[in-house]
Amino acid sequence: MDLIKWPFLKQSWGMEVVRSEGPYLYTKEGQKILDAAGGAIVSNIGYGREEVAEAIKQATKNNSYVLPPFLTPERETLLDELREHWLPPHLTRIHLSSGGSEANESAVKLAIQYQASRGKPEKNIILTRTLSYHGTTLNMSGISGHAARKRGLESYVPKAPMIETPYPLRCPLGSFHPDAKDYYLDNLKEVIKKIGSENIAGLLMEPVNGSSGGAISPPEGYWEEAHKILIDNDILLIADEVMTGFGRVGDDFASNLYNLKPDILVAGKGMGGGYAAIGGTYSTDEIADSIMEAGYEVMFHTFAALPQSCAASSAVLKILREEKLCDRVNPLSEKIMDRLNSEVGQHPNVAEIRGKGLLIGIEVVKEKEGLICFDENEKITSQIMMKGLEDGVFLYPGGTGEFRDIICLGPAFTIGDEEIDLMVSAVKNSLNFIANKYS
Ligand SMILES: Cc1ncc(COP(=O)(O)O)c(C=O)c1O
C-alpha cells in the first residue's frame, strides 16, 4: 500500500517547501518559487520577518496560554492596534478566533442571537450568495456557494437561501449588460419577498469575491443600493472580509470601497499575514449590548486570542502601517493589470482579467464566444498551476466547480518589478501551454 505522508488525500500537485522568505518559497529540490498568491492570499507582508518572529517569541515566554476572556498585554496591544488604526469606528466590539471559518461562524451566531435578543427568534435565516466561500466548517460548507467544497456532504450540511452573486461577465442579461445592477437588485428584492424579511437575520457576503468567483466586483452602485434594501428590511449586513481585509484590495477593507457600514465584519488571513492562526469578528455596541441584556453567551474557542497569535498579528499590522505597504497596493495592481491586459488580454482562452488591488482573477475559458468552460475532468486550473510551478511561480487556483478555471493572483504587498515580470510571464506561458494543448 502506498503510504501517503501528506496531505490527507493525494493531490496531483504539490511540493516540499523547506524555507520561505519575502515573496519566495524554497523547495527541497532547490527551486526558488515566487509565491504569486501569498499562500492562500494570506501573506501581505511576505514571509520570514524577524520582528514578527521576535514578537511571537516574547509572547510565548510571557504568556504561553491565557484563557481567552482574560486581558493580557498581547491582547491589549492588538485591540488598540485594531481600534486605533484599522476598524471602522462603529465596529467597537472585537471577538477573536483561530481563522476565517470560525470567525464567520461567530458572525452568524451573533446575528441570530441579536435577532433573538430583540424578541425576534423567528428572524433566523442567513442569506448567502450563489458564488461564495465562507469556510470549511459544516455550517459554512453548507451555506457557501461553492459546489466543489461540499461534494458528498450535501445530504448533511445546512442550506441557506441564496441571492445571485452579481457577476457582470456572466450576467444572464448578457456580458456587462447596462441593466446588470438592476437585475441583481431585483433578485435580492425577490428573494427577500419570497422568504419574508421577518424571517431573515442577515446577509453574509463578500464585498469583492475571493477565490470562489475569482475577484468579482459587482456592477457600480450595486452594494450601496443593496445595503439600503437590507436596512429597509431590517436585515443585517455581514461582510466576510477574510480574504479582502487589511489592505488587500487597496483600502483597509473592501466595504470601504462601496461606503458600506457592515453591522458585522469578519477578517482572517491578512490579519495575521500567515504568522498566526487568527480571525476576527467585529461588531457594534448595539448588537453586543442586546445579546448581553438577553443573557446569552458568546463562547470562546480554547485557542482564540492566543497571546502568540495576538502578538504576531499586532506586529504584522504595525509593519503594514509603518512601512506604508498598503499604499503600494493600488500602484502595484495598476502595473500588473496593465501588463496582463497587454500580454494576455487578447488571449483566446482569457474571458476576463479583473480584480481590486492585489486580488486579481483571470477567468480561463475554452471558448470566448459564449464563455464556454473546459470540461471539469481536464482540470485546467491544476494544469496551469503545475505549468506555473515549472516556471518558478505559484499561481492560485480559483473557482467553485461550476466556473472552475480561474487563476488568482494575490502576492505580498512588498513585490517589485522583477516579481511582476516573473508573474506575468508565468501566466502567459501557462495560458499558451493550454492553448497549444487544446487547439
Ligand atoms: C472569503 C473567505 N471566507 C472564509 C474563508 C475561510 O477561512 P479559513 O480557511 O481561515 O477558515 C476563506 C478562505 O479562503 C475566504 O476566502
pLDDT digits (tens, 9 = 90+) for 319-368: 999 999 999 999 999 999 999 999 999 999 999 999 999 999 999 999 99
Of 42, 132, 269, the one to substitute when testing ligand 1's pocket (max ligand atoms within 8 A of C-beta) is: 269
Average pLDDT in the 308-320 region? 98
pLDDT at 189 over 80: yes
243 lines ligand 1 (CB under 6 A): yes
For ligand 1, say whether the CB of 103 is within 6 Å of any of its atoms. Answer: no
The residue contributing the CA closest to ligand 1 atom 10 is 100
Atom of ligand 1 lying closest to residue 279 CA: 10
Ligand 1 centroid to Cα of residue 167, in Å, is: 20
**How is domain 17-48+326-438 classified at the CATH fold level?**
Aspartate Aminotransferase, domain 1 (3.90.1150)
Q: Which CATH class is domain 50-322?
A: alpha beta
pLDDT, tens digit, 9 for 90 and up, residues 59-117: 999 999 999 999 999 999 999 999 999 999 999 999 999 999 999 999 999 999 999 99
Determine how β-strand 162-163 pairs with β-strand 125-129. parallel
Domain boundaries, the chain: 17-48+326-438, 50-322
Regarding the beta carbon of 284 and ligand 1, being less than 6 Å apart is answered no
Q: Is 272 in the pocket of ligand 1 (CB under 6 A)?
A: no
> What is the pTM (predicted TM-score) of this model?
0.97
Q: Is the CB of 206 under 6 A from ligand 1?
A: yes
